[in-house]
Structure 1
Amino acid sequence: MANFLLRRALLDAVRVPVGTRASSELAKVGNREWVGFGFNGQPNYVDRPDFPMPAVRFRPDTPDIKVLREKEKGDWRKLTIEEKKALYRASFCQTFAEFQAPTGEWKGVVGWTLLIASFSLWIFMGMKLFVYPEMPESLKEENQKAQLRRMLDLKVNPIDGLASKWDYENNRWK
């Protein structure tokens, strides 16, 4: 519901009739020019590699930009490099190389992951030392050997179990 209300408020704020998009003359969004469909048909600007042409120009038209746009309609060889860059920056915020460049965000993710992992290891060690009781005597190796010897002496499961694999005459495993 909030998404619908926000969309409705934005569309009312822009006040661009639907028919103006289909007309031959370009519509204005505020004081920016509507130049394409964009990625969702709404008058917004987003740098995205999958939709390289945003719906509106990045910057509003200023007198300097208007002069350059008129000059742009002529021969492009008469434009200087600075004028071409100014025209590009008026239409786009960043170049493809700029908005696809790595941001280094992975370093923070790895750092937080390692911090949380080390914190959880400290919690585990604290629990092991102060919360959990000691291991029972039956888990010590000498007690396990004694328990195994007792199971063999009692001939536990002599058909296909532990006692069936013990040679009682030679006192070793078969």
Structure 2
Amino acid sequence: MAGRTLLMSLVRRNLVNGVRSYSNDAPPINVKYGNREVVGFGLNGEASYLDLEDFPYPAIRYKEITPDIQALKEKEKGDWKKLSTNEKKELYRASFCQTFAEIDAPTGEWKSITGCAAFGIGIALWIFILLKTYVYPPLPHTFSREWQLATYDRLVKLDANPIWGDWKRKEK
């Protein structure tokens, strides 16, 4: 993190590697990473591919440019009515990995999360039962129902902490 911060401050001052640069922006459009074309700014200005609904246009294309895709790109420059449905799909898949319907499709991940949570709760309950049975001492006799009722009766007879309806008037 600190190294990246230092590098970015040097880039802003145009002093990277002792060479004065005149641009500190993101890479220009149509620069290639490997054989993948950069087509935009990206989510954070970095050339990365992410399938996100919130940000539907990734910075780089999904697939590398192969001769087949290059031929389709040349054909794409003409009339789109001449392209078949499969060719249009292949062009789409060259730029994007998933469609919006595929991004929204349920994955079933909730089942494993629910199972792991239930397993964890079960383990915690077993640990609690074992601790309650073998580790904790028994409760004192003052926790019994008879003792609590006797204490309550004693407090009533002693008139301890009476609550009266009107604070000015005390009736007995």
| Map of 1:65 onto structure 2 | 69
**Moved beyond 6 Å, runs of 4+:** none
- Please report how far the alpha carbon of residue 27 of structure 1 lies from its aligned counterpart in structure 2 after TM superposition: 2.4
Q: Which segment drifts farther, 103-112 or 138-147?
A: 138-147
* Aligned residues between the structures: 149
- Please report how far the alpha carbon of residue 143 of structure 1 lies from its aligned counterpart in structure 2 after TM superposition: 2.6
Partner SS state of residue 42, structure 1: coil
| Map of 2:118 onto structure 1 | 114
Partner SS state of residue 37, structure 1: coil
Q: Distance in 2 between matches of 1:19 and 1:151?
A: 79
- Please report how far the alpha carbon of residue 28 of structure 1 lies from its aligned counterpart in structure 2 after TM superposition: 2.0
- Please report how far the alpha carbon of residue 151 of structure 1 lies from its aligned counterpart in structure 2 after TM superposition: 4.3
Q: Distance in 2 between matches of 1:98 and 1:3?
A: 38
Taking a change above 3 Å as real, the CA distance of residues 78 and 130 of structure 1, as seen in their structure-2 partners, is: same
Q: Distance in 2 between matches of 1:109 and 1:2?
A: 35
- Please report how far the alpha carbon of residue 75 of structure 1 lies from its aligned counterpart in structure 2 after TM superposition: 0.6
Where do 5+ consecutive residues of structure 2 fail to align? 9-23, 165-171
Which of residues 38, 41, 44 is equivalent to 2:42? 38
| Map of 1:123 onto structure 2 | 127
Matching of residue 28 in structure 1 with residue 32 in structure 2: yes
| Map of 1:161 onto structure 2 | 162
| Map of 1:100 onto structure 2 | 104
Taking a change above 3 Å as real, the CA distance of residues 134 and 83 of structure 1, as seen in their structure-2 partners, is: same
| Map of 1:52 onto structure 2 | 56
- Please report how far the alpha carbon of residue 92 of structure 1 lies from its aligned counterpart in structure 2 after TM superposition: 0.8
Q: Which segment drifts farther, 49-58 or 137-146?
A: 137-146
TM-score (norm 1): 0.73
Pairwise CA RMSD of aligned residues?
2.9
Matching of residue 136 in structure 1 with residue 140 in structure 2: yes
Partner SS state of residue 38, structure 1: coil
TM-score (norm 2): 0.73
Where do 5+ consecutive residues of structure 1 fail to align? 9-16, 165-173
- Please report how far the alpha carbon of residue 3 of structure 1 lies from its aligned counterpart in structure 2 after TM superposition: 6.8
Taking a change above 3 Å as real, the CA distance of residues 102 and 151 of structure 1, as seen in their structure-2 partners, is: same
Q: Distance in 2 between matches of 1:3 and 1:111?
A: 41
Q: Distance in 1 between matches of 2:26 and 2:143?
A: 81
Cα deviation code 1:95-125 (max 9, x no counterpart): 1111222222222111111111111111111
**2:51·2:58 contact (CA, 8 Å) conserved in 1?**
yes
Q: Which segment drifts farther, 140-149 or 102-111?
A: 140-149
Q: Which segment drifts farther, 129-138 or 77-86?
A: 129-138
Taking a change above 3 Å as real, the CA distance of residues 18 and 150 of structure 1, as seen in their structure-2 partners, is: closer
1:161 maps to a residue whose letter is P
- Please report how far the alpha carbon of residue 45 of structure 1 lies from its aligned counterpart in structure 2 after TM superposition: 1.2
2:162 maps to a residue whose letter is G
